[in-house]
Structure 1
Amino acid sequence: MSLSLKWRAAIVAAVTVLGIVFLLPSVMGPDAKLPGFLAERRLHLGLDLQGGMHLVLEVQAEKAVEQAVERMAADLKGALREERIRARTVEPRGKEIRLVLRDAEAADRLQALLDDDYPMLRPKARTQEGGRVEIVLGLDPNEEQRLAKYAVDQAIETIRNRVDQFGVTEPTIVPQGERRILIQLPGIKDPERAIRLIGKTAQLEFRLLAEDVSVDEALKNGPPPGTEILYEHQVDPVTRQVVGRRPLVVQKRVLMGGDVITDARVQIDQRYNEPYVTLNFDKRGARMFERITSENVGKRLAIVLDGVVQSAPVIRERIAGGRAQITGRFSLEEARDLAIALRSGSLPAPVEILERRTVGPSLGHDSIRAGLMALAIGGALVVLFMAVYYKWAGVVADLALIMNVVLILGSLALFEATLTLPGIAGIVLTVGMAVDANVLIFERIREELRLGKSPVNALESGYAKAFSTILDANVTTFIAAAVLWQYGTGPIKGFAVTLAIGIVASMFTAIVGTRVIFDAFLRRRTIRRLSI
């Protein structure tokens, strides 16, 4: 055996062994005792094979922009006060801020302030009536686009943190278009709970109750300026259902938000045996909370989550240490989900569920069975045809075909890829493509044998002349797979990945693998007639 053949044989053997090694953890199951680097390299099943939930969410980015404008309006109001610019009104209206200034001089000073500190705000309209000047400010289009994109990016990161803490393995959370998010949670056992956790805005606010305002009067005539009516849910302790709502008049001013929370944990009340959520604040939050409680002793502080009052305890004394707690007759599961949502941060904007699909585990098992059946039947027919039509050469092609499937599955396991039903279709397609390459080679060899060449020379010419055709066909298919991977989502990407890996594996096994077997057989003995 020549040195070149020895090297080629060693490479084929090494690649095949590596494929088998990386495939072992997936075949032996999670309970098998394997080295650490191998135990982590497993072939994961996709949503359509093991069941789970598929969601498409849309981030209402306009709400995030409006909230940013509200914060800018409050900040601008404080800046006007510091600069002694007299303004009668500073109020946000959607994506705009309306200002009413006392005179033209104040308007000119406002413009200077905007140029220096608020370049993202631009005057959209200006009217003057008497000495009063009314100005409408709007966001710069680039700034509005930046805020909307940030809201989507932040929503993806927040949802990913929540899903990770929820305990789902191998989730898929990717952007889809400009404002949509694709979420796939394979193996999820409680879809409803997952949806509640993912969609919870988790906007936490600490506000004071307007205790000097009558709730009945506010319900009848509307709340006074600077206040609003929020409700505290009354929950049945047995069924955990909301059985009533108690109205409370709450000040609109937010004393502190949830952005200062560093940790949230579930604790059990030793007296009433009910779960509650403890909060830890960062240094800034601890100082703010201490100041709020020291300045409002004897008043009720409402803890508002997503517009619902969770509790409104009376502040008995100044609270230092940067800790607080939320009580609200939670079940243990609700308290855990609330803690996860608060730890991962609030969503920058509400999300809307546009598409929802749940795949049951039994359907996933049926898909696996059907896919493997299709692969087995298709593979068996191909193996039988090659062995009957091309005789001994067909058997060599069948060995390469088995090697091809092993290399595909081993590569998917190596990269910890997710195998989906379209991925199995890609493997079946690759099996046909691998055989197609051998058919081209064998027909070329037959033509050379008919010209009277020896088996060794016919083999050499057959592989050389078929190579360019095989390469062109596989390159064009690989380009199609790359386009599918770039622009496809979910199952389409799974199909593209499997197809691309299959193309590389089939090129290796059909051209290199079978050639090594033929060369090793022909060079060790004198063959006058090739069984093809």
Structure 2
Amino acid sequence: MLQIDRWKRILIVGLTLLGLALAAPNLFYKRVELHNDAVKAIEATGVETPELIADRAGWPSWMPSGLVNLGLDLRGGAHLLGEVRVADVYKARMDALWPEVRNALAAERQTIGSIRRLPAEDGVLKLEIGNADQMARAVEIVRGFSDPITTLSGAGQQSLAILADGKTITVQLSDAEKAATDQRTVQQSLEIIRRRVDEVGTREPTIMQQGQDRILIQVPGIGSADELKALIGTTAKLTFNPVVAIGSDAAARIEPGQVVLPSQEREGLYYVLEESPVVSGEELVDALPGTDQNGQPSVDFRFNPSGARKFGDFTAANVGQPFAIVLDNEVISAPTIRDAIRGGSGQISGSMGYDEANRLAVLLRAGALPAKMDFLEERTIGPELGQDSIDAGRLSAIIATVAVVAYMIASYGLFGVFASVSVIVNVILILAAMSVLGATMTLPGIAGIVLTVGTAVDANVIIFERIREELRAKKKVVRAIDDGFSEAMSAIIDANVTTFIAAAVMFFLGSGPVKGFAVTMTIGLITSVFTAIFLTRLMIIWWLERRKPKELIL
């Protein structure tokens, strides 16, 4: 029978009203966005400024405050395509390997003879021993630093490729290890970039790998591509290196395993450093902006137990000697060690502003990029263009909705009005669901909503045409409507299941814009079934109970 229990009616109306309430914040987008940002900032810092308090008061706290996130094409922002310099990692691996190999060979210096590192191309460690007769033993020692490859493609292979010629041993990463290193480097870069972007509070960034060594970064709401590059393009590689010499010659003569770096504080001053650091930024556990003893901006940092131990041992053994704090190949400070520093904490200060100190702390907390990035493509989408896209999308949605409503009313009269109300509620429920899920709306997403507006009435059309057939069979009004809903159910379910399968394929196999289209279409499928079957049916029942018609012209 064409009946709906009271609790079901309450549930249908309740879900509809809940959807209206959840979608309402999108009508006051700027105000609600400022409210959310203020609440987040106050919770994160514990500081309530007059501006933050005013922004927080701009939207009632008891009202829903979820918003549909706007994608890059709607909000404006920055687009970057970066290529990771994976070859830099090969060099770093060989530079880190040299002290360990040198110490292991030095333990048998009496038989092997002298050990010396020879100049070689980046990513290659070339060393010379004094006694060629002991080459086999030297190679055996070096091979002890090679590990088996654990990936499926490199099973059975070693991480190091070692060649011996006369007194010379050449060491580099094997091809299988290079492939594994490339993948690890790109994945690590992805995670670090994601942490850096998330730390500054951007909304719904798109960060994904493209090809073997490229990363696509799209961040809505950020000012420009240059601002984004400043945030993620910096390696933020922090190391603490022993100082060999200080001078004004940028081309000073150095030994293998040493490097000349400029001073950040004094132009024309250069430091000769041991290339292998005592401690690196990877052993940092925290970094926060602060002030030094003179009230100037600084960054306070803290090491993990391993880093604290190495830092303490080094400072204890080198009291009275300078050591360099190096950030991205520049010596930002080179203090003299006065006492052993056992606490595992320290401070970076110098010529920096508060904004620079905060950005440096963000970069150090997120971690250093394992390798530098070259930006192959950069693009800034202004907010004006994004607003034009929103206006165009809104206009197309309104035109589509008006056209569908006009057609339904012209074709089905009062029942067309019921279907039109369902279509409008359906769009509102889509926005409500996207607000709750925190989904991102893009131009393809708007296209998905416009398509949903056109297809949402399919279920109603099937039902209404089925009711017409039952009326032609001379059935009474209530029976014809009841049979129309019942007989149309299987066709409605089949049509929506097949569409859902297509949307699922697009979501799992497609990229950003295609996924946005699939998300909105999937949500639209669910809400359209609810509005067409349940909400439309409830409105028809209310009409039947109120008018009690003896006949129906449809």
Instruction: Give the TM interval when normalised to the shorter protein.
Output: 0.7 to 0.9
Residues 86-141 of structure 1: per-residue CA shift (max 9 Å, x gap):
37456785455445564566525744873696335467464554xx5x55445455
Residue 41 in structure 1 maps to residue 66 in structure 2: yes
Provide the rounded CA distance (Å) in 2 between the counterparts of 1:285 and 1:112: 27
Residue 79 in structure 1 maps to residue 104 in structure 2: yes
**Alpha carbons 2:143, 2:162 under 8 Å: kept:** no
Residue 119 in structure 1 maps to residue 153 in structure 2: no
Helix, strand or coil at the partner of 1:210: strand
Provide the rounded CA distance (Å) in 1 between the counterparts of 2:87 and 2:256: 25
- 2:196 partner letter: R
Counterpart of 2:214 (choices 163, 168, 180) is: 180
How far is the alpha carbon of 1:432 from its aligned partner? 0.3
Helix, strand or coil at the partner of 1:209: strand
| Deviation larger for 350-359 or 196-205 | 350-359
Name the structure 1 match of 2:521.
Answer: 499
Shift in alpha-carbon separation, 1:512–1:71, aligned structure 2, 3 A: same
Shift in alpha-carbon separation, 1:112–1:69, aligned structure 2, 3 A: closer
Helix, strand or coil at the partner of 1:119: coil
Helix, strand or coil at the partner of 1:531: coil
Residue 32 in structure 1 maps to residue 59 in structure 2: yes
> What's the Cα RMSD here?
3.4
How far is the alpha carbon of 1:304 from its aligned partner? 1.5
Q: What is the 5 A alignment of 1:92-103?
A: 94-98=122-126, 100=128, 102-103=131-132
What TM-score, normalized by structure 1, do the two folds share?
0.84
Shift in alpha-carbon separation, 1:34–1:122, aligned structure 2, 3 A: closer
Counterpart of 1:223 (choices 241, 254, 258) is: 254
**Alpha carbons 2:95, 2:275 under 8 Å: kept:** no
- 1:261 partner letter: L
Name the structure 2 match of 1:423.
Answer: 445
Residues 299-355 of structure 1: per-residue CA shift (max 9 Å, x gap):
332221111121223334444433333333223322221222122221112122233
- 2:285 partner letter: T
- 1:86 partner letter: I
Residues 487-522 of structure 1: per-residue CA shift (max 9 Å, x gap):
333333222111110012112222333233334544
**Alpha carbons 2:124, 2:170 under 8 Å: kept:** yes
**Alpha carbons 1:231, 1:246 under 8 Å: kept:** yes
Name the structure 1 match of 2:21.
Answer: 21
Counterpart of 1:247 (choices 270, 277, 298) is: 270
**Alpha carbons 1:69, 1:96 under 8 Å: kept:** yes
Residue 346 in structure 1 maps to residue 368 in structure 2: yes
Residues 225-246 of structure 1: per-residue CA shift (max 9 Å, x gap):
44332222468xxxxxxxx554
Counterpart of 2:326 (choices 304, 314, 319) is: 304
Helix, strand or coil at the partner of 1:393: helix
Helix, strand or coil at the partner of 1:118: coil
| Deviation larger for 384-393 or 258-267 | 258-267
- 1:157 partner letter: E
Helix, strand or coil at the partner of 2:218: strand
Name the structure 1 match of 2:181.
Answer: 147
Shift in alpha-carbon separation, 1:323–1:115, aligned structure 2, 3 A: closer
Residues 175-225 of structure 1: per-residue CA shift (max 9 Å, x gap):
4454333333332246534421211111112223332x8654x72x74344
Aligned residues: 515
Residue 363 in structure 1 maps to residue 377 in structure 2: no
Q: Which ranges in structure 2 are unaligned for 5 or more consecutive residues? A: 36-57, 150-157
How far is the alpha carbon of 1:429 from its aligned partner? 0.9
Q: What is the 5 A alignment of 1:37-436?
A: 39=64, 41-82=66-107, 86=112, 88=115, 94-98=122-126, 100=128, 102-103=131-132, 106-107=135-136, 110-111=139-140, 114=143, 118-120=147-149, 121=158, 124=161, 126-127=163-164, 129=166, 132=167, 134-139=168-173, 141-189=175-223, 192-211=226-245, 215-216=248-249, 219=251, 222-233=253-264, 244-269=267-292, 271=294, 274-436=296-458
Residues 426-454 of structure 1: per-residue CA shift (max 9 Å, x gap):
11110100123322332333344334444
Residues 367-419 of structure 1: per-residue CA shift (max 9 Å, x gap):
22222222122212221221122111111111211221122111112212222
- 2:463 partner letter: I
Provide the rounded CA distance (Å) in 2 between the counterparts of 1:76 and 1:223: 20
**Alpha carbons 1:208, 1:251 under 8 Å: kept:** yes
Provide the rounded CA distance (Å) in 2 between the counterparts of 1:224 and 1:187: 49
Helix, strand or coil at the partner of 1:197: helix
| Deviation larger for 426-435 or 357-366 | 357-366
Shift in alpha-carbon separation, 1:3–1:456, aligned structure 2, 3 A: closer
Helix, strand or coil at the partner of 1:279: strand
**Alpha carbons 2:393, 2:443 under 8 Å: kept:** yes
Provide the rounded CA distance (Å) in 1 between the counterparts of 2:106 and 2:234: 37
**Alpha carbons 2:315, 2:341 under 8 Å: kept:** yes
**Alpha carbons 1:207, 1:253 under 8 Å: kept:** yes
Shift in alpha-carbon separation, 1:423–1:466, aligned structure 2, 3 A: same
Provide the rounded CA distance (Å) in 1 between the counterparts of 2:273 and 2:95: 18
**Alpha carbons 2:247, 2:269 under 8 Å: kept:** no
**Alpha carbons 2:315, 2:339 under 8 Å: kept:** yes
Helix, strand or coil at the partner of 1:501: helix
**Alpha carbons 1:289, 1:319 under 8 Å: kept:** yes
How far is the alpha carbon of 1:156 from its aligned partner? 2.5
| Deviation larger for 431-440 or 9-18 | 9-18
How far is the alpha carbon of 1:8 from its aligned partner? 4.7
**Alpha carbons 2:286, 2:302 under 8 Å: kept:** yes
Name the structure 2 match of 1:240.
Answer: none
Counterpart of 1:482 (choices 504, 529, 551) is: 504
Shift in alpha-carbon separation, 1:142–1:453, aligned structure 2, 3 A: farther
Shift in alpha-carbon separation, 1:156–1:465, aligned structure 2, 3 A: same
Provide the rounded CA distance (Å) in 2 between the counterparts of 1:340 and 1:442: 60
Name the structure 1 match of 2:12.
Answer: 12
Shift in alpha-carbon separation, 1:480–1:77, aligned structure 2, 3 A: farther
Provide the rounded CA distance (Å) in 1 between the counterparts of 2:271 and 2:362: 27
Helix, strand or coil at the partner of 1:479: helix
**Alpha carbons 1:123, 1:135 under 8 Å: kept:** no
Shift in alpha-carbon separation, 1:182–1:531, aligned structure 2, 3 A: farther
Name the structure 2 match of 1:238.
Answer: none
**Alpha carbons 2:20, 2:432 under 8 Å: kept:** yes
Provide the rounded CA distance (Å) in 1 between the counterparts of 2:88 and 2:257: 21
How far is the alpha carbon of 1:460 from its aligned partner? 4.2
